[in-house]
Amino acid sequence: MARRWIPVVLALLVALLLVGCEPESSPEDDSDLAAFEGGPDYGYDDLLAELETSQEADIEVEGADAGDAPLSGGLSAEAEVRTLSVNGEPVYVYEFDNQEAATAAAATVSADAALVDAVPVEWGGTPHLYAAGQLVVVHIAPEAQADLDVTELLQSALGAEFAGGPIASETPTS
């Protein structure tokens, strides 16, 4: 009598194992997140070209002076730093030699961007950090008014931010 149940029990175990092997969904599967499609060689010139084609962006190249960049050490130690003005707000572009170096640098930033290399950072506004290809891009929105347009432009070019504060539409009001 017990032998009749062996095939049923085995079939149930196999079914449970197959269900347990189904891959978990990841944030990359979420259609609400902006997806970066630029590839590992995506660099400064690619970002600049993409922003310049946007009809919503007023872009000015301010030069390669890293003196005003918010992270004089940390991220900029191994990167070429350039400053853009996007709709009047500074955007700092850290370009690394390759995607691996950019990814390693991005990994040193805490999710809320309060720490870089475990060192506290005073941003002087709400930071929004993006990583794409060879780039780590930092936009610091003024506390008084986070420019949703700049954030949306950067998200459309670079994908969702990996660290930083809420965008204007996400900021709770009281």
User: Model confidence over 7-49: pLDDT tens digits?
Assistant: 555 555 444 444 444 444 333 333 333 446 678 899 999 998 8
- pLDDT of 131 reads 95
Encode pLDDT of 45-65 as tens digits.
999 888 888 766 677 766 545
Q: Please check whether residue 34 lies inside any domain of the structure.
A: no
CB burial readout 86-100, b (16+ within 10 A) else e: beebbbbbbbbeebe
Within-domain flag for 152: yes
Residue 15, in any domain of the structure? no
Is there a domain that residue 22 lies in?
no
DSSP state, residue 145:
-
Domain for residue 127, yes or no?
yes
| Position 143 in a domain | yes
- Is residue 33 one of the residues assigned to a domain? no
User: Which domain, by its residues, includes 94?
Assistant: 39-166
Residues in Cβ contact with 69 at an 8 Å cutoff, skipping those fewer than 6 apart: 76, 81, 83, 92, 94, 138
Q: What is the pLDDT of residues 68-104, one digit of tens each?
A: 677 766 666 789 999 888 887 889 999 999 999 999 9
pLDDT at 16 (0 to 100)? 44
Mean pLDDT over 3-7 rounds to: 61
List the helix and strand counts (H, then E) for the chain.
4, 8
Contact residues for 33 (Cβ-Cβ < 8 A; gap 6+): 27, 159, 160
What is the distance between the alpha carbons of residues 146 and 120, in angstroms, rounded to a whole number? 22
139 found inside a domain: yes
Domain total in the chain: 1
CB 38 within 8 A of CB 46: yes
Q: What is the pLDDT, as a whole number, of residue 98?
A: 94
Residue 83: C-alpha distances to residues 88, 89, 101, 139 (Å)? 12, 10, 20, 10
